[in-house]
Amino acid sequence: GERKRPSSGWESLTPAELDVARLVCEGLGNKEVAAQLFVSPRTVQAHLSHIYTKLGVSTRVQLANAARTRTATVD
């Protein structure tokens, strides 16, 4: 079927990617995120790779900054 999700930006993230982004922004490492979500650390890394591509960032710090900017504009 046709994708209903945009290809970039926060709206493009899947529910699993949003969960990973939220936990990473809380300061958790990949192993801790994996334990919380009951997935492997490699799965977390794959989600992070997709998140970085979709949001146009390349580090956890940039992801956290993007999340802060996003919540500041939503509030």
pLDDT given for residue 74 in this prediction: 59
Domain contains 68: yes
* Distance from chain centroid for Cα 51: 5
- Single out the residue of 52, 41, 40 nearest to residue 8, CA to CA: 52
Domain contains 36: yes
Give the range of the structural domain holding residue 16, as residue numbers without chain letter.
12-74
Q: Is 33 exposed, middle or buried (0-12, 13-18, 19+ CB in 10 A)?
A: buried
CATH code at 21?
Answer: 1.10.10.10
Domain contains 42: yes
Domain contains 5: no
pLDDT given for residue 5 in this prediction: 83
Is the pTM here over 0.75, yes or no?
A: yes
Q: How far apart are CA 63 and CA 46, in angstroms?
A: 15
- Encode pLDDT of 22-75 as tens digits: 999 999 999 999 999 999 999 999 999 999 999 999 999 999 999 999 877 755
Q: What three-state secondary structure class fits 8?
A: coil
